[in-house]
Copies of this chain bind each other. A is one copy, B any other.
Amino acid sequence: MNKAALFQQIQKKQSFLCVGLDTDLSKIPAHLLVLNDPIFEFNKQIIDATADLAVAYKPNIAFYEALGAKGWESLKKTLDYIPQEIFTIADAKRGDIGNTSGLYAKAFFEQMDFDSITVAPYMGIDSVKPFLAFEDKWVILLALTSNEGSADFQLTESKSGKPLFQEVLEKSQSWGNTDNMMYVVGATRGEKIAEVRAIVPDHFFLVPGVGAQGGSLEEVAKYGMNASCGLLVNSSRGIIYASKGQDFANAAREEAKKLQQEMKELLAQYCH
């Protein structure tokens, strides 16, 4: 789907919620563990409980890789189960030289049918462009993350005074367009989000999480929204591990609902 279609979904569901399927055998309810594919069963129930509230699902690929070939199968089954109109993100943070990035693209865009993939920018243009060769598929490029280590290199200022993340944003804009490129922008303090928004006014941002490490959902919306919403805000643990009991899917729905209600108000307030 392109940007307009994604925005349509956001308006339809009054939500810009992305549910992170960071599914961990040690964290899911014990009663699922006797099943043949506990990971998929968990994801299936989460999807069933939240599909009307979320515009995106984002499995972090590490969680599936950690389980070897079986994890890969659970991932594929999960992806196939997600309703067609919901935007899917392979949170893989891949990136390599040309032909190799092309193979990563094959893995996630052909072997599996993800709409998008997160990509690391360190190796520059030829490590990113191969993903953009796939029609109707998106690259979500790491720009400014909000983990502790984001300060190590992303904030390093060049001679012209620009931090590295700004160089990444500015340079990469010409590699694709607003219909196939998004940026990972951590929920840092509001001013930082405003800074990023000023550099890339029309691109979507994937915000990995709110609250814990920086800005609140309101701040992110206030400083980060644009006329097409322009935000996908992810929540993983807060939703999928809301309960460790038999009621886990309902509990997940409750938390997703709370966020969606807040998002509905923020859309009304800031999306213009």
Chain A residues at the B interface, C-beta cutoff of 8 Å? 22, 60, 62-63, 65-70, 72-73, 76, 91, 93-98, 100-101, 103-104, 106-107, 111-112, 120-128, 142, 145, 147-154, 156-159, 161, 164, 167-168, 171
Contact = CB atoms under 8 A, between A and B. Distances in A.
B63 A103 contact: yes
B104 A123 contact: no
A153 B149 contact: no
| Integer count of this chain's copies in the complex | 2
- What are the 6 closest A-B residue pairs judged by CB atoms, nearest first? A124-B149, A124-B152, A62-B103, A65-B107, A125-B149, A69-B72
A266 B86 CA distance: 57
Given A97-B145, A124-B147, A72 B66 contact: no
A124 B150 contact: yes
A126 B104 contact: no
A96 B148 contact: no
A164 B153 contact: yes
A226 to B, nearest CB: 25
